[in-house]
Structure 1
């Protein structure tokens, strides 16, 4: 086999059935090999960034390795945003690019770029293949590395001549034995037992470790009041009585209040991101911290932990559960207090009962949550709609909520939904987008049509960059700058141009029927939802501010009134 054929054979041996890519000159030998190899399904996206984001969505929804492929030069550079997105959210991804022939590297040849140099900070590891003999071993190593420990993207850059040269298959790599031993939990248990107000804080590491069931067992037997990060939504399931919701900039008052009052913070699979913590010296000011993670690099990075435990989350959670089942925690007063906050300090009421009233974002998302099937996967873009989904959609599984957390990549949702649909052929996949984000990768309507994917597309259209407009309104004296999108295309006509049926709704009484219509349609369909330009996401913490100083619509109106009187 030549190098290109060997890559496809390796995919087959590792049960990689779907890859996302776009051809070009230096990767052409791999595409030539695809002609004769039907074991690997290649999905042709319409932009390389979308290839990476689709591979990302595939990996998030399935828990398996996502794979994207592109050529050298602009093909590789177009992948970068999608790869950075996967890196920031620790998504397992294999990136393969063609490179100019070995003899031309360093000569500024046509479509040559320094992939290793450009991607140094956005990958877990990267390789430039220098000979055909090393390709098999590096390919095995890269696939294992992308999925082991803390997952992440691994990039292999392969000169065109190497793809054409014969290779000798390397022995199948034996995975290094993983350490499944449990660290000593005695100190953690002692801290939990002496705390009067302990709080469970979980993030995206739970699903990355495939630890959802062990986490739920621990949450149930500990009965700890709990908060989640944006990527941790769904960890506890939608029926958890102790879940106070998302914390942080757009978190619930109940969650942020509990963090402010707790005396012990048990952090599991989370990295204390600034959007979650707000101003660090005001975050959980009365609490000691236990930090449990697979990646030791996260310990003490932003906040010194009183106790750090590195290891397999499944093993640690199981050990904690066993100990607490024998001797439950005595925290009934704290539990009652958190339940009171949960009842009175959630997200603002969102339902609008007036039939002819304009559609509000939160009310629409709540209706969507009530109507959709249990296995629905929501792939969000970035903006106000993303926060409304996080606040008001009831997720039962973390892999049902695909969102760009660390990088905040506009244009993520549509290609991520495509990847998720290939990963879950029978599930309902919905892309919830804003009008600004949707236009970032709108060309992928062609991919949906090509493969007749039954993805449901929802555009929440306020004809502006809503999140930017909101911050300009609140924190920049309402000085609007470059946020108007009132020259948006007719999204219904745009979808129909790609042979995708579409409809538009504008009133509250149209919401349920609109959602039910797209869900019932046997194929892709777009729902254009008109919402008010001035609608904001509440509550909100000023960037750089403390989570204890949340602002909601009522508090802001009161402040504005006082300023006018003064």
Structure 2
């Protein structure tokens, strides 16, 4: 006898088969059958339903799950505005390589062509924000569509998939069996001839450098990179999403991060190098026109996907293969006696001295406020290698990206492709769900925090000990200081004050305030002892933001 079930039940079983642990979202009439069946499922493996306070934040959390685990998070919303509120988050995930699946309720199939309540062309709307967008027309296809959405989200450059679910499809009858768990694809191998060419280029290069991008930050690729560095000591520059690929063991190989303003040690090294080995590099992080200005470098592109070619990025060798496998094969093939030339060692030592001194600036802040470096340095002392730090967009993001160190990949999270405000707290929720026994710290400005601050209630409800730092100055300061640099004045960047200690308390969270390093250190210690989330309000003095644009090339100020 064939088992009969509802479409929503078949969809849930398909999630179970692909080991989906959570579904985040907000209910509504067009998707309530799915929410009912999730809430009252008698299957212990069924995903846990977590209701949020905004659809965009639900998708940010799901995308955070995707970035941290490499497996898609899932977000489910109702039709109309429920779906349209997903656009920014799914667009961000697609740009920044985070696998996520969006499930959007839709009007019944016979209403699709009518101007009826909450009827919008969801599939078409999402086609520009995702890797794939499909509307299910038959309940029997639900499992196949979901499994293909999952596969699309993780394949090539990861990103978002969207499924539009008419209400009568979710409630319709299904007899077809669900798809089995996906099997991982066999990694492609790099040809020996290609590896020989790479080795010859390395041997002839005067100053080779590795540019480690977003797809270098998976555990497998990072481990393979470490094996390479153990055999030959090459300098490494991280992109913001490549943060943490250099561990303590290879500290001497680390020459900073690039991702904004083209005035860092890493930019200098990329400019001086005659061979750039780009590993998992994605131009959305930092376009080649910013770091390959003179067009005189040789470039080797090692990635799982084909590179985007531009006038500024025309690699001499393109390896489109399993990245970890390629690095391991290269390590094995490199001659045992290969070393950097002494001239390169001396050049790197000079750069190292300059790099190590870039934080040695006099720290002065107005009374009752903290200097950005004082905040960064205090926080640095209070984290361990397993701490996850999520960072929103604002002036704080630049200070953190330049000066805060992390030694494990995907433990310092930035939105550098879209620079989307509001990601930090949702990503922190994702991190605490994924890494419940580790510290999680979210860093926001007072502007970006209120884009998603309502999810503090979600964190309270889930009893998640997330520490939320708010760098508070009363401006959209990242825009403010750039406007002042360009025009001599600012416009449209000031807003009114909020008492974030009272804000935290009104949600049932703990609220603290710190105005100097000692107070911040004490607050961080206290916050880790709380059962739930803690907000630490930090009045910040951004007077030294001019240091962020020092030696800035005028074509990059934007």
Note whether the superposition's TM-score is higher than 0.5: yes
Aligned position for 1:191: 201
Aligned position for 1:555: none
Aligned position for 2:157: 150
Aligned position for 1:387: 398
Q: How many angstroms apart in 2 are the aligned matches of 1:394 and 1:193?
A: 31
SS at match of 1:244: strand
What's the TM-score once normalised by structure 2's chain length? 0.92
Between the two proteins, the alignment pairs up a number of residues equal to 546
SS at match of 1:241: helix
Does 1:6 find its partner at 2:10?
A: yes
Report the more deviating stretch, 524-533 or 169-178: 169-178
Measured after TM superposition, the shift of residue 61 of structure 1 is 2.1
SS at match of 2:393: coil
Does 1:490 find its partner at 2:499?
A: yes
Q: 1:157 to 1:543 in 2, by over 3 A?
A: farther
Aligned position for 2:427: 416
Report the more deviating stretch, 12-21 or 49-58: 12-21
CA contact (8 A) 2:241 2:416 kept: yes
What's the TM-score once normalised by structure 1's chain length? 0.91
Gapped runs of 5+ residues in structure 2? none
Q: How many angstroms apart in 1 are the aligned matches of 2:381 and 2:431?
A: 21
Quick one: which of 7, 18, 23 aligns to 1:19? 23
SS at match of 1:227: strand
Does 1:237 find its partner at 2:255?
A: no
Q: 1:48 to 1:93 in 2, by over 3 A?
A: same
CA contact (8 A) 1:356 1:507 kept: no
Aligned position for 1:99: 106
Measured after TM superposition, the shift of residue 546 of structure 1 is 5.9
Report the more deviating stretch, 156-165 or 142-151: 142-151
Measured after TM superposition, the shift of residue 93 of structure 1 is 0.8
Q: 1:64 to 1:537 in 2, by over 3 A?
A: farther
Aligned position for 2:521: 512
Measured after TM superposition, the shift of residue 542 of structure 1 is 8.8
Quick one: which of 108, 128, 131 aligns to 2:115? 108
Q: How many angstroms apart in 2 are the aligned matches of 1:22 and 1:170?
A: 26
Measured after TM superposition, the shift of residue 424 of structure 1 is 1.0
Superposition RMSD in Å? 2.4
SS at match of 1:440: helix
Deviation track 1:106-156 (CA, whole Å, cap 9, x = no partner) reads 212211111222122221111111111211211111112211222111111
Q: 1:274 to 1:509 in 2, by over 3 A?
A: closer
Q: How many angstroms apart in 2 are the aligned matches of 1:248 and 1:12?
A: 38
Q: How many angstroms apart in 2 are the aligned matches of 1:283 and 1:74?
A: 43
Q: 1:21 to 1:494 in 2, by over 3 A?
A: same
Measured after TM superposition, the shift of residue 364 of structure 1 is 0.8
Report the more deviating stretch, 76-85 or 146-155: 146-155
Any residues of structure 2 matched to 1:241-256 within 5 Å, and which?
241-250=252-261, 253-256=264-267
Q: 1:102 to 1:351 in 2, by over 3 A?
A: farther
SS at match of 2:549: coil
Quick one: which of 528, 535, 545 aligns to 1:536? 545
CA contact (8 A) 2:392 2:414 kept: yes
Measured after TM superposition, the shift of residue 12 of structure 1 is 1.6
CA contact (8 A) 1:67 1:93 kept: yes
SS at match of 1:348: coil
Gapped runs of 5+ residues in structure 1? 552-566
Q: How many angstroms apart in 2 are the aligned matches of 1:437 and 1:121?
A: 25
